[in-house]
């Protein structure tokens, strides 16, 4: 898609003013803006910008709005399904409830819950920290106290909180307090966030069951904490498995292989313990 000079400048101005745009992204955008303001030929400036953004774009490591702009300048369609944040709400307090889980990158925590019967909505975001309105990069730096997490709204007539907790244990390495799988850092540690005494009791009993199973050689470090403000991440990071299916499958495959290996070791350990 070829942009006019006015269209390009308008898009770039908005990105520069966007609080979520990274400093490095701002620098290359400002360079392009300055060049566009002094020269009439748009194509060389946009081509140069595309070349600078390309390495991060290929690794899907641009911030959301900049990633959309990159697709626009290379002529690729923006096929992201827009997450309807207004629908992520409890409408029937008699039969709906919510649960919050931190289990590493939220990219891989959505699909396992969202595809189960009884799940009404799954929202990716941050919780457990001390900074208001944290950005993706702020949380990524590990300085806000937040962890990446998912907030799950579910129909209690179709699925129970206990079943959600059981699913959760199948998705994480409960012995790793330095992150999860390939995601390393304080913001990726596993935590079950409970919103009342009933959820705490279920989570505590479930954790004790995991500890007592003898399946793990290392201590179970998964925390259980009260819920706090949940800050949704922007649309670009919602429902990653739908927007980036190939990359999601690669990440999911890696996690599944690790967990399968861990479970096999656990089964051998448990069987050996019984025989002795």
* Joined tokens for residue 275: 């025989």
Task: Dump pLDDT digits (tens) for 162-219.
Answer: 999 999 999 999 999 898 988 899 999 999 999 999 999 999 999 999 999 888 989 9
Q: How far is it, in rounded angstroms, from Cα 80 to Cα 140? A: 23
Whole-prediction pTM: 0.75
Q: Which residues pair with 123 in a beta bridge?
A: 151
- Per-residue pLDDT band at 100 (split at 50, 70, 90): very high
Task: Indicate which residues carry an active-site annotation.
Answer: 105
The domain locations on the chain are 5-73, 85-255
- Work out the percent of the chain whose per-residue pLDDT is above 90: 50
* 213 Cβ contact partners less than 8 Å away, ≥ 6 residues apart: 266, 270
The sign of the torsion formed by the CA atoms of 259, 263, 266, 268 equals negative
For residues 106-121, one letter each, b for 16 or more C-beta atoms within 10 angstroms of the residue's C-beta and e for the rest, the string is: bbbbbbbbbebeebbb
Q: What is the number of other CB atoms lying within 10 angstroms of the CB of residue 269?
A: 15
Contact 151, 125 (CB under 8 A): yes
In sequence order, which ranges of the chain are alpha helices (DSSP H)?
5-17, 23-38, 42-58, 64-73, 111-114, 136-140, 161-169, 197-212, 240-243, 245-275
225 compared with 275, residue with greater pLDDT:
225
* 146 Cβ contact partners less than 8 Å away, ≥ 6 residues apart: 126, 127, 128, 129, 131, 134, 139, 187, 231
CATH number of 85-255: 3.30.1060.10
Q: Which residues pair with 98 in a beta bridge?
A: 153
| Average pLDDT of the chain, as a whole number | 89
């Amino acid at each position: 898609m070829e942009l006019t000079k006015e269209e390009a400048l308008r898009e770039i101005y908005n990105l520069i003013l966007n609080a979520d745009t990274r400093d490095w992204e701002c620098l290359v955008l400002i360079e392009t803006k300055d060049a566009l303001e002094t020269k009439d030929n748009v194509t060389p400036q946009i081509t140069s910008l595309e070349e600078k953004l390309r390495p991060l774009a290929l690794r899907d490591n641009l911030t959301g709005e900049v990633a959309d702009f990159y697709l626009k300048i290379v002529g690729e369609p923006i096929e992201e399904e827009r997450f309807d944040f207004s629908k992520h709400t409890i409408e029937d307090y008699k039969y709906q409830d919510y649960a919050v889980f931190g289990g590493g990158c939220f990219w891989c925590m959505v699909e396992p819950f969202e595809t189960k019967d009884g799940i009404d909505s799954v929202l990716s975001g941050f919780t457990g920290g001390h900074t208001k309105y944290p950005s993706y990069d702020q949380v990524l730096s590990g300085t806000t106290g937040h962890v990446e997490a998912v907030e799950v709204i579910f129909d209690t007539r179709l699925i129970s909180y206990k079943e959600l907790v059981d699913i959760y244990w199948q998705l994480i390495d409960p012995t790793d307090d330095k992150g999860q799988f390939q995601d390393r850092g304080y913001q990726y540690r596993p935590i079950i966030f409970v919103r009342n005494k009933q959820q705490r009791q279920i989570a505590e009993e479930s954790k004790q069951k995991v500890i007592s199973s003898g399946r793990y050689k290392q201590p179970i470090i998964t925390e259980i904490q009260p819920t706090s403000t949940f800050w949704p991440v922007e649309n670009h990071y919602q429902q990653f498995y739908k927007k980036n299916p190939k990359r999601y499958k690669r990440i999911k495959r890696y996690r599944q292989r690790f967990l399968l290996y861990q479970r096999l070791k656990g089964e051998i350990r448990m069987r050996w313990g019984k025989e002795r």
